[in-house]
Structure 1
Amino acid sequence: MSEMPRERVEFESGGEQCAAWFYPGRSGLCIVMATGAAVTKEPGTDPYAADFQAAGHAVLAFDYRGFGESAGWPRQVLSVNRQVDDLTAAIDFAAGLPGVEKDKIVAWGSSLGGGHVLRAVQAAPVAAAIAQTPLVDSLVSAPAALKHETLGVVLRFPFLVLLDVLGGVLGRAPRLVPLTGPRGAVAMLTTPDSQDLERALDPDRRHGGWRRTIAARSVLLLALYRPGRHVSRLRCPVLFVVADQDQSVLASPALRAAGRSPRSELVRVPGGHYAPFLEAHDAVLAAELEFLTRQLPGSARENPTLRQRLSGPGTAAS
């Protein structure tokens, strides 16, 4: 549980309002948290935000435009460029929040959000970044993901995308597909580890307002997304958290990106795409907090309860 209550705030991005949770902190450090595709701020950040706050840090967790509580139309339509702009706007907004020192802002992203972080911090004024199981190169991961789909769905999906694109031109409502589904389903992902979505992000079924859907046209754009192309330009420290058996975004592109980023650090954990939210959660959290302590000296705040939990068995990460 968080030590201090969070409060709802809003900031502007592209002329529209983004809804966010602000968790006040005491260390001066603020972690701006970006979620995965069509994942809203509560399921996508709650498992980490309260613990970051318990360690003394402020947190800003937000919804992208067109998703969750944020404004934007049409709904459930993903634009990677708009989402990177939203993350950049969130970083700028965080610098003016109470108790936040503008030279102690950290960008954190998971899955697609991890890819967005790699783009946003090339220009955004951040002290450090954390890319957790990041989507680094869809031209590598998308073909691998398609191997877990049936041929019939692979052949049908482009027609669904085309119909959704044409519908968008005509002003019609988006044609939505589930974020995940079993093999043979028409969904964004049918990889085996994508089936852990609910268990990882909403095990108690508390997030009834979270729409687990995405516009079909968005999947085409995601299949072409390569946010890791220019990691050699990154100048801030970046912690890459990679799940070795990741089938949804693959480990190999992230490992190569970590090797090309000038000030990168790497943490590898066993498991699939959602391992940092499941069996590897405490190990990843401990590694991320340790990274922040080293990169921003003086920002750590001792929390005996959290320290005891994270020093227990099963928290070691390579």
Structure 2
Amino acid sequence: MRTEKVEYFSGPDRVRALWRTPDVVDGPTPAIIQGPGWLGLKDAQAYDRYHQGFTDAGFAVLSIDYRGFGESEGSDRGIVNPTHQLEDLVNGVTYLTTRDDVGAIGAYATGGTGGGNVVLLAATDPRVRAVISQMPVADGRDWLHRMRTEFEWVEYQALLEQDRRERVLTGKSRLVHPRNEVMVETLERKQSNFKKDVDVKIRMEVPLSMVDPLLHYRPGQAAIGLITPLMVVAVENDATTPTDHAVAIYEAAAGPKSLVLQRNTSHYAAYAKYADVVIPQMVAWFREHLHAPGDVVVRSDKPSRS
């Protein structure tokens, strides 16, 4: 796998990305764009085995840092803005179309808003011909609600309303920890070394105002009637991104679709435990749906006999 740093503009800001390709390339290569998961970065070690699997199979991968994260520009550092992240992905697809070495384009992402964002991308951009969404969030409000007990959720909503009132009077939002006061970490996440390489690079103080767009985050609605070929990868009894969110996205789609359910594991452990099983299925999905259209189309109809 070869790795090169590339960049493109999304709005006024540079989005920086890793361009990963097979060791040997012969002609235009099908390309897969990936936006990181919740508070993720393009070069997270957890992604390496997936990128290696894709490039070994002959695909190129464009793994991006969203604006405000990692090496990308953007004044709102560390803030998950679903609208901007979707724009970054759409502009990334446009960037791929400017390259002579790129053929058909697909999208892959994993983890919460990462998995949800590629569903939104598929619903927005017809240039994306196949998508794989791994452990996605389908409904932001439900996701944030289910991390909390009912009395915690009531108190949290009151805190959000108080912050809105303060913002209109002062222009300032309360600063909170994104892993504990926006998302709530599971015990597995606290005890795991998963993405520790990324955590040290992420801002751990963000305005509470970041929550409001997440309350309106609806990849599940975007999936209704979706005809772009869609594979959804889920973990049974997932405590981080609810399994039924992934199932709802799968069931809502109307085109070719596949649901891969990983059992007897957990959200973070599944990446390593089932990689050797799941990655070949992902590769097969992209091979089926990212084949380049031929230059000659033949249609043959047998005349009916009267």
Equivalent residues of 2:42, 2:65 under 8 A apart: yes
The reply on whether 1:191 has 2:186 as its aligned counterpart is yes
5+ residue gaps, structure 2, are 294-306
Aligned twin of 2:15: 18
The reply on whether 1:282 has 2:284 as its aligned counterpart is no
- Deviation sequence 1:29-77 (CA, Å, 0-9, x none): 1110011122111116334223322222111000111111111112122
Question: Which one of the candidate residues 257, 262, 269 is aligned to 1:264?
Answer: 257
- 1:261 and 1:275 mapped to 2: Cα distance? 27
- Shift in CA distance, 152/233, structure 1 to aligned 2, threshold 3 Å: closer
Shift of 1:82: 0.9
Give runs of aligned pairs for residues 293-304 of structure 1, distance below 5 A: 293-297=287-291
- Deviation sequence 1:231-282 (CA, Å, 0-9, x none): 1332210100011121222111221221221121111112332344232222
Aligned twin of 1:255: 247
Question: Match of 1:29, SS?
Answer: strand
Shift of 1:165: 8.2
How many residue pairs match? The answer is 284
Equivalent residues of 1:22, 1:61 under 8 A apart: yes
**Greater alpha carbon shift after TM alignment, 166-175 vs 215-224:** 166-175
Shift of 1:217: 2.1
Provide the identity percentage.
Answer: 25
Equivalent residues of 1:78, 1:215 under 8 A apart: no
- 1:143 and 1:47 mapped to 2: Cα distance? 32
- Shift in CA distance, 50/215, structure 1 to aligned 2, threshold 3 Å: farther
Question: Match of 1:133, SS?
Answer: strand
- 1:245 and 1:167 mapped to 2: Cα distance? 38
Question: Match of 2:16, SS?
Answer: strand
- Normalised to the residue count of structure 1, the TM-score between the two structures is 0.78
Aligned twin of 2:95: 93
5+ residue gaps, structure 1, are 181-185, 300-318
Question: Match of 1:274, SS?
Answer: coil
- Normalised to the residue count of structure 2, the TM-score between the two structures is 0.81
Q: Give the greater-gyration-radius structure (CA).
A: 2
- 1:47 and 1:158 mapped to 2: Cα distance? 43
Aligned twin of 2:213: 221
Aligned twin of 1:233: 225
- 1:156 and 1:232 mapped to 2: Cα distance? 30
**Greater alpha carbon shift after TM alignment, 234-243 vs 253-262:** 253-262
- Deviation sequence 1:73-112 (CA, Å, 0-9, x none): 12122211111111111111122235211xx111112121
Aligned twin of 1:303: none
